[in-house]
Amino acid sequence: MVVKKENLFNNITDVLLVSISIYFIGILVYIAAYQLGYPYNLEWIEGAMMDHVHRILGGKSIYCEPSIDFVPSPYTPIYFYLSAFLSLIFGPTIKVMRWISAFSTLSILLTLYCWGKRETGSKVAGVISSGMFALVYWFVSEWFFLARVDMFSLALFAWAAYFVKFGKENRYLIYAGFLTFLSIFTKQNVLGLALALIVAGAFVHKKRIGIYFLSWFVPVAVFTVVLNNLTDGRFWYYTMIMPMHHGFVETRYLSIFTHDISIRLLIYVVSAIIFLVVAFRKKEKKDFFFYLFFTGALFVSTYLMRLKVGGATNSYLTFFFGGALFLGFLYGKARSKKGFILVAAALILIQSGFLTYDFRRYIPDGLIRRYEHKLVEAMRKMKGDVWLVSSGHLTTLAGKKYAAHQCLIDDSLKNDETRDDFSLRLVSSFRKRKFEYIIVKDADKINPALRKDFKKNYEKTDENYKIFKWLGSKKPHFEEVYVYKRKK
């Protein structure tokens, strides 16, 4: 049997690129095996998310007036309530929240595989799309397995978009709408993506896209009204009003292009452009306009989230979802064309080279564990109430009550219209709780609203510890914190 040269070349490139993709996916599995069971924080706000679960399990609202006991996060509630439900079964540990993120990451990889295969008719294209998303783990600040809302929200929306693109029956549009509702009520920034998906989906379904719209808009509207009434308007404030007051980082208007994307991520953009040009030239107008608006929405969402103060590199998750899709599409479409497959394979290999990383540094080692364990055991021995200012969760591991997280306190005081009222509430609750110990980097790290009372009533001791804040892309980041004791 004679094998044609072009078929042999295709088979070689298939094996090479599939092997690379599986390698990057395998790395995620390896990292997850070490991170999912880690009992302490892998990122400094992770613990605050776990505090929300403890509050739900305690029968309290997560949209309440801010106090030193608890300040709500600016996220919609489904991830927290799902975590609380699973905690009733498996126990209230941060591992439960991480497992949700891990299964969400797996779900995203599966969506990419199915989408790539469906669009191109090639399983290889699907595997490549999954691998090109797995590749970006380090760039998005290790977000794939953290106890944060992002992966769960993206996983829900990814399947919603898939059903809108390929669903031929009305029931698939209803499924997509319900998944979009869940995604919005996990992280509200998906609202913009959902509106864009209506426009994109109209080119595929025409008037039937109204089924999708109503399927998510009605439950979003109903639950918003109900939750707002149950929380005296605080649900709307924390999830919509407060995020609008975070402000923007002006230096990022251009640095997103010149620094973040630059040459490292340019191939994700190039692959999208090539695919859209090919779709337009082939007069595949439905596909062209769907992907034009869908891709635009993914990029605009990334851009706006990154501009915000506090917009970490998790903002790029939607960008990479689209980029991974198009790299898979490009290769899948190129397999039937002489010469073009070489270009597609070269782009994938170059992008892989730009983002290859040393996965060993994302394994929480013995040093990190010892530092965290030492701090937890020290708090356990402290008599009385303890406030660990820049970290949640660790105090509950030490058998103490949780308290408000520094980041969420700062967020709640950024709105000029509510700052004075919130400050008074914080100061009042701070005076009532009377912590015996406060652990913080230095006195100036206490929020200005509380600083006067803190300096008046607490004195620095000789005790100091290292608190882990982030695994980081280069090396783990620690912060040295000191113990302040209440004056007698």
Residues 231 and 286 in one domain: yes
**pLDDT value for 471:** 72
Residues 375 and 253 in one domain: no
| Residue 28 is assigned to a structural domain of this protein | yes
Helix (H) or strand (E) holding 259: none
Residues 230 and 289 in one domain: yes
Residues 132 and 273 in one domain: yes
| DSSP 8-state assignment for residue 256 | I
| Residue 84 is assigned to a structural domain of this protein | no
Which of 332, 360, 388 is where one domain is finished?
360
Query: Which candidate, 284, 320, 363, places its Cα nearest to that of 30?
Result: 363
Which of 331, 360, 389 is where one domain is finished?
360
**pLDDT value for 2:** 40
Task: Tell me the C-alpha distance between 343 and 331, whole Å.
Answer: 9
Per-residue pLDDT of the chain (488 residues; tens, 9 = 90+): 444 555 766 788 999 999 999 999 999 999 999 999 999 999 889 999 999 999 999 999 999 999 999 999 999 999 999 999 999 999 999 999 999 999 999 999 999 999 999 999 999 999 999 999 999 999 987 899 999 999 999 999 999 999 999 999 999 999 999 999 999 999 999 999 999 999 999 999 999 999 999 999 999 999 999 999 999 999 999 999 988 888 888 888 998 998 888 888 999 999 989 888 887 777 678 889 999 999 999 999 999 999 988 888 899 999 999 999 999 999 998 876 766 888 899 999 999 999 988 898 899 888 889 999 999 999 999 999 999 999 989 999 999 999 999 999 988 888 888 889 999 999 999 999 999 999 999 888 888 889 999 999 999 999 999 988 877 656 678 889 999 999 98
| Residue 297 is assigned to a structural domain of this protein | yes
Residues 385 and 325 in one domain: no
Task: Tell me the C-alpha distance between 154 and 160, whole Å.
Answer: 10
| Residue 66 is assigned to a structural domain of this protein | no
| Residue 52 is assigned to a structural domain of this protein | no
Residues 394 and 444 in one domain: yes
Task: Tell me the C-alpha distance between 284 and 65, whole Å.
Answer: 53
Residues 233 and 374 in one domain: no
Task: Tell me the C-alpha distance between 413 and 275, whole Å.
Answer: 45
Instruction: Provide the residue range defining the domain that includes 444.
Output: 362-486
**pLDDT value for 6:** 57
**pLDDT value for 71:** 94
Residues 232 and 185 in one domain: yes
- Give the up-direction half-sphere exposure of residue 363: CA atoms within 13 A in the CB hemisphere: 13
| Residue 87 is assigned to a structural domain of this protein | no
| Residue 62 is assigned to a structural domain of this protein | no
**pLDDT value for 250:** 87
Residues 143 and 290 in one domain: yes
**At residue 485, what are phi and psi to the nearest 5 degrees?**
-110, 145
* Amino acid at the residue 439: I
Residues 316 and 462 in one domain: no
* Amino acid at the residue 321: F
Residues 289 and 408 in one domain: no
**pLDDT value for 8:** 63
Residues 377 and 279 in one domain: no
**pLDDT value for 368:** 86
Q: What share of the chain is helix, strand, coil (3-state, %, to 5)?
A: 65, 5, 25
Counting the structural domains of the chain, the total is 2
| Residue 76 is assigned to a structural domain of this protein | no
Which of 339, 360, 381 is where one domain is finished?
360
